[in-house]
Each structure stands twice: as C-alpha cells, then as structure tokens.
C-alpha cells in the first residue's frame, strides 16, 4: 500500500515540469470529464427514453445545482492551496489539521445545503421562470438530487486533499467506479422500472455516495501527514481562516458565475421547452472542454503553491507557461472535434430534430471561442497559488458575471432570440482574458 501511494505522488519541486504537469492534469481532467459523462448519461437516458419534457426538467436544474455545488468547490481550492503550501515547506502538523478540518467542514456544509435546498426547491425554480409544464418533474429531480449534497462536497474536499500531493489517480478511479454504477442504475430505473427524472436523480445520489466513500477509504489508509483519523476530526479556526482566505474569493467567483448562469437559464426558460432541452444537450460538450481548462488551472494552483512556498520562483514562471500552452492545445483539438461533428453529437441526447438544431447552434457559437477562456482560468490559478485569490476573483466577477447580467437586461431584451442570448459567452471571455492578463503581469512583476 505504501509503495502504491508513493507512485501516485508527484514531486512538484524537482526535475522536469512539462511531463509532471501533464501527468497531474490529465487524470484530473479525465475525472471531471468522466463525472460529466455520467451526468450526461442522465440527460441522454431521460432525453431518449423519457422524452423532451423530462430532458428539459433535468436541464432546468443544471444552473441551480451548479450554484449550490460551485461555492464549495471554490472553497475546496483553499484546502488545496493551504495543504500544498504546508507540504512545500514540510510542515506536517498543520497539514494534518488541514485534512481533518476540511473533511468535517465538507460534511457540515453539505448537510446545511441539503436542508436549505430541499425546502426551497420549488420556490427557486419558480423564481427562475421554469415553465409550468416541467415544474413538477424539475422540483422532484432537484429535491432527490440534493440528498447527495453532503457526499458531493465530501468527495470534492477529499479530492482537493489528494491533489495537494499530486495524487489525481485515486479521484479518477473513484469516479470511474461510481460512474459505471450511475449508468447501470440509470438504465435500471428508467428502462427497467419506467421511472423518469426521479430514477436518474436516485442513481446520481447513490453514485455520489460511492465516490465519496471510496476516497474516504483512501484517506483512512494514507501515509502521514494526509492520513485521516476519526479521533482527530476537529474544526481548527486558524485553518478555516487560512482556507477561507484563498477559498472564499474563489467560492465567491464561482457563486457569481453560477448566479449569472442562473439568470441566463431564466432567460432561456422564457424561450420555451425546446430551447431549454437544446441548451441542456449542448452544455455537456462545453463542460468537457471547460474541464480540460480547469485541470490545467488546478495544476497551476497546486504546482505554483508548492514551489512558491519552497522559494522556487523561476520554476513558478515555467509552470504558468507549460499550463497555458497545454490548455491552448487541448482546447483547439477537443473543440475542433465537437464542432466538426456537432450534428451527431447533438443527436446523442435527443431524437427531436428541433432540439438538435438549436443544440448545434449553441455548440458552434460557444465552442468556437472557448479557447479564450484558458487565459482567465490558468492565470487565475497561478495568482491563487501565489496567495492572490481576490484579484482574479474580482476581475472575473466583473468581466464575466457582471457583463453577462448587463447583457441579459439590455441587449437580449431588445432582441429576444436564442442566438443573441448565447453569444454573451464568447464576448465575456474575450473581455476578461485581457483584464486577467494585465493583472497577472502586475503580480508577476511584483513577486516573481
């Protein structure tokens, strides 16, 4: 067991960088893509076997669920940075405190979100102007899904702990097992028992339980200082404050991203069930492309954090260059494939030709420009790793979230069309790329 764990670790402080960044980022990207693939299985199963109404009901929940989850995923970045810094300085005792504080924090936050979300599910979806014909199944899906919230947050904090030492393989393995279970249960409930959105929601909850328990087992059998021991579970106020210093700006940014997407979803809901279903189908491919960017951004956070703590400033600059170039290449290849085969990819999720056509339009409009999103992602990751989490958060909030909200209530209101709504994504990425690049140059000149 000890030998296996050493193999899963990455020495971020010494040796070549390019191959280590790839070895770190690809399993991380694969984990997120697998997770989305299994979420996409929910969409595909209900879309093809339960109809467009069920597909729209699941799709109407996407931005709401992301709003709940993304705040705490952003907060888990704080755990990753704090732990990486302690490991870079070989400070094992505070690293142990960080592990135990993070696990308990995830469980407490997950339970709180479950309770709040469950009781306000219907009101939230009504506020979002969810069409009446899909409101009832949408509420049912959301309420069942929220029972998995403690396990979703637990998995994300467990994965952040393991990433701090370069282990992205165990989270990938956990998701692979849980995802296979999710797909099997989807088919079992929807086709075998003729269930609809409730079937895929139950399958998702059960798969989240599995993935979190698998990583819990890994941490219980870890080497020091990341070994989890039940008797040491305790909230350290000092550690929470350190996590919050890095994580809260990231969480705030993720939350406002989600709020802007909720408002876009609300505007989308006003265009009818066909547009909602098309949006749900096309979003899956945008998620795949984004996860590659996010993997290199998280690699940048972790590698920069460890090396900056160890005083390797020149190495930090190289890390940013390799992460940015890798993200650019991966985006060009993946999005080229999605756009080139947009029609068959869209038809995976629906048999309705009108839904498929709108999905293709979104894929072309958005995926053609998603490469611009790599600059905010990678450079923001670098600044977080250096301890400057607030600066990229503010820029992205204003450049992406703020611009999108203004667009919805001005430009989109004048021309109330599907195309006019989705074009806001590439425009906001381009604006934010320029601003984040300027901020990064200022930070680099000051401390690197």
Closest CA to 292 of 233, 374, 354, 170: 374
Closest CA to 24 of 303, 227, 384, 288: 303
Contact 102, 161 (CB under 8 A): yes
Would you state the pLDDT for residue 408?
92
Which residues fall within 8 angstroms of residue 101, CB to CB, at 6 or more apart? Answer: 234, 235, 236, 239, 240, 243
Would you state the pLDDT for residue 100?
94
Would you state the pLDDT for residue 49?
64
Would you state the pLDDT for residue 1?
36
Q: Tell me, what DSSP letter sits at residue 222? A: P
Would you state the pLDDT for residue 5?
43
How far is it, in rounded angstroms, from Cα 410 to Cα 414? Answer: 7
Would you state the pLDDT for residue 4?
40
Taking the model in full, what pTM does it have? Answer: 0.73
Query: 């992460």: which residue's tokens?
Result: 323
Closest CA to 109 of 164, 71, 53, 166: 71
pLDDT in tens, 277-293: 888 888 888 888 888 88
SS3 per residue for 378-407: HHHHHHHHCCCCHHHHHHHHHHHHHHHHHH
**Per 3-state DSSP, what percentage of the chain is helix, strand, and coil (rounded to 5)?**
85, 0, 15
CA angle, corner 388, sides to 314 and 328, nearest 5?
65
Q: Does residue 273 have a cis bond before it (omega within 30 degrees)? A: no
Which pair of structure tokens corresponds to residue 338? 């999605």
Would you state the pLDDT for residue 138?
87
Parts of the chain with a pLDDT under 50:
1-6
Count Cβ atoms below 10 Å from residue 385 Cβ, excluding itself: 31
Contact 359, 349 (CB under 8 A): yes
């Amino acid at each position: 067991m000890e030998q296996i764990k050493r193999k899963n670790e990455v020495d971020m402080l010494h040796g070549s960088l390019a191959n280590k960044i790839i070895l770190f980022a690809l399993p991380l990207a694969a984990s997120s893509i697998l997770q989305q693939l299994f979420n996409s299985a929910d969409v595909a199963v209900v879309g093809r076997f339960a109809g467009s109404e069920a597909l729209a009901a699941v799709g109407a929940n996407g931005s709401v669920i992301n709003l709940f989850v993304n705040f705490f995923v952003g907060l888990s970045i704080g755990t990753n940075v704090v732990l990486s810094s302690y490991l870079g300085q070989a400070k094992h005792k505070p690293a142990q405190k960080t592990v135990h504080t993070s696990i308990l924090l995830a469980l407490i936050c997950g339970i709180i979100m479950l309770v709040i979300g469950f009781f306000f599910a219907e009101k939230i979806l009504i506020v979002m102007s969810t069409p009446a014909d899909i409101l009832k199944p949408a509420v049912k899906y959301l309420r069942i899904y929220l029972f998995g919230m403690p396990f979703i947050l637990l998995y994300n904090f467990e994965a952040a702990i393991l990433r701090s030492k370069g282990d992205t393989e165990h989270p990938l393995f956990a998701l692979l097992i849980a995802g296979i279970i999710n797909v099997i249960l989807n088919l079992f409930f929807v086709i075998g028992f003729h269930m609809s959105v409730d079937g895929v929601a139950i399958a998702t909850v059960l798969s989240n339980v599995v993935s979190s328990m698998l990583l819990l087992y890994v941490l219980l059998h870890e080497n020091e200082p990341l070994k989890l021991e039940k008797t040491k579970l305790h909230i350290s106020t000092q550690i929470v404050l350190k996590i919050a210093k890095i994580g809260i700006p990231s969480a705030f940014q993720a939350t406002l991203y989600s709020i802007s997407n909720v408002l876009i979803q609300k505007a989308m809901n006003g265009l009818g069930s066909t547009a909602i279903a098309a949006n749900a189908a096309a979003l899956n491919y945008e998620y795949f492309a984004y996860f590659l960017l996010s993997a290199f951004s998280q690699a940048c956070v972790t590698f920069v954090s460890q090396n900056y703590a160890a005083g390797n400033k020149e190495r930090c600059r190289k890390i940013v260059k390799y992460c940015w170039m890798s993200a650019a290449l991966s985006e060009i290849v993946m999005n080229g494939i999605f756009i080139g085969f947009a029609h068959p990819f869209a038809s995976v999720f629906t048999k309705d030709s009108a839904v498929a056509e709108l999905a293709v339009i979104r894929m072309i409009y958005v995926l053609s420009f998603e490469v611009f999103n790599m600059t905010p992602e990678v450079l923001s990751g670098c600044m977080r790793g250096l301890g400057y989490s607030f600066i990229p958060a503010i820029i992205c909030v204003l450049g992406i979230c703020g611009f999108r909200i203004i667009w919805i209530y001005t430009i989109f209101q004048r021309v109330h069309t599907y195309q006019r709504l989705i074009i806001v994504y590439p425009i906001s990425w381009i604006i934010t790329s320029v601003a984040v690049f300027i901020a990064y140059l200022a930070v680099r000149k000051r401390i690197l």
